[in-house]
Amino acid sequence: MKEISLHILDIIQNSISAKAKVIQLTIFESTINNVLIVTIEDNGQGMEEDFLEKVTNPFITTRTTRKVGLGISLLKAAAERCGGSFHIDSQKGIGTKVEAIFQYNHIDRAPLGNMPDTLISIILSLGNDIELIYIHSYNDEAFTLDTREIKEILGYEVLITEREVIKWIRNYIQEGLKKIYGGVGN
Amino acid sequence: MKSLKELEEIRKRTLENINLRKGREGYRIVVGMATCGIAAGARPVLTSIMDEVNKLDLKNVTVAQTGCIGACRFEPMVEVYSPDGEKVTYIKMNPEKAKAMVASHIKDGKVIDDYTMTVIDGKVIDPVSE
């Protein structure tokens, strides 16, 4: 994948397949500590221990259209090739937590990429029943977005997937991230 | 600076639109968004579809996404369901093709055959020259 954000978009599809109701995406960027940490935590159905042990193997998948599942293996490889690490923890009936740690200034670290576009793509696929909490910090600054807050304002008649709403969310994230990056943009 | 208060305005505006289009069935555009689709460039295809729908101010369209459609070598793939339930599958899409598809298929009702998937005797024929 050309951007870390594309891995995020991909991994969150797993949370949706696992029937998660709430997904928390945390991006922690610290140039001071030279790390970029992506965490995706959901309250989906989780995995059995034996499946969890082999889940980073590309020949393991739950999809039925083919026998390879590359999503998790690709993210693991992306983290490990730039001096980082990958962890996945899951409990049946409780949920799953995926964490990828990247060395921030490593030459092989892909750029984080276009987060506003990634997030609106995610929100579109979540539909109205799954909530997303997005926390993005860059050194001392942080931006958060919680779909529950947005839905509270929208009420029950206007869906979060309406195009005007999606457009607003994209702009809101663009501005929010610009602010945490000190106005230089990403 | 955008604020959550602006959402209240959008809610009111959108509510009027929802009432206007009630009872009128529209197009449904679905983009394949599994690992294969994402790696092949599905995200910019999805966003350019949304941008074009906004630009042309098309009301009766919903944009959604789906998992692996099953023919990864043709990704990014876009399925368009018309109001009468008919499905057209576009393959090897990119942002430019996606914009053209919205303008032609959704706005004017003309399918762009050059971008679609053709199946002959159960085999998928690739109409796009490599």
- Tokens 């101010």 label which residue? B57
The 10s digit of each residue's pLDDT in B85-105 is 889 999 999 999 999 999 999
Q: What is the ipTM of this complex?
A: 0.82
- pLDDT in the model for residue A40: 97
Q: Which of A48-85 are b and which e, b meaning 16 or more Cβ less than 10 Å from the residue's Cβ?
A: eeeebeebeeeeebeeeeeeebbbbbbbbebbeebbbe
- Identify whether the C-beta of residue A74 lies closer than 8 Å to the C-beta of residue A100: no
Q: Which of A17, A124, A164 lies nearest to residue B13, judging by beta carbons?
A: A164
pLDDT digits (tens, 9 = 90+) for B33-91: 999 999 999 999 999 999 999 999 998 888 988 888 778 889 999 999 998 888 999 99
The pair of structure tokens assigned to A101 is 């740690």
In Å, how far from its chain's centre is CA A165? Answer: 20
A128 touching B (Cβ < 8 Å): no
- The pLDDT of residue A67 is above 60: no
Contact residues, chain B, for A8 at CB < 8 Å: none
A61 touches chain B (CB under 8 A): no
Give chain A's domains with CATH numbers. 4-180 (3.30.565)
Hey, of A163, A167, A169, A174, which one would you mutate to test binding to chain B, going by the most B CBs within 10 A of its CB?
A: A163
> What pLDDT, on the 0 to 100 scale, is given for residue A114?
97
Contact A167, B54 (CB under 8 A): yes
Q: Write out chain A residues lying below 8 Å of B55, CB-based.
A: none
Tell me the pLDDT of chain A averaged across its residues.
Answer: 91
Asked if residue A68 has pLDDT above 60, the reply is no
- Answer whether B35 sits within 8 Å of A10, measured CB to CB: yes
Buried b (16+ CB within 10 A) or exposed e, B66-97: ebbbebbebbbbbbbbbeeeeebbbbbbebeb
DSSP state of A92: T
Q: What are the sequence ranges of the domains in chain B?
A: 25-125
d(CA B117, CA B32): 14
Residues A74-90 have a mean pLDDT of 94
What is the C-alpha separation between B64 and A147, in angstroms, rounded?
17
Q: Which residues contact A136 (CB under 8 A, 6 or more apart)?
A: A26, A27, A29, A115, A142, A143, A144, A176, A177, A180
Write out chain B residues lying below 8 Å of A118, CB-based.
Answer: 43
Give the CATH superfamily of B25-125: Glutaredoxin (3.40.30.10)
Sort out which chain A residues have CB atoms less than 8 A from B11's CB and list them. Answer: 153-155, 158
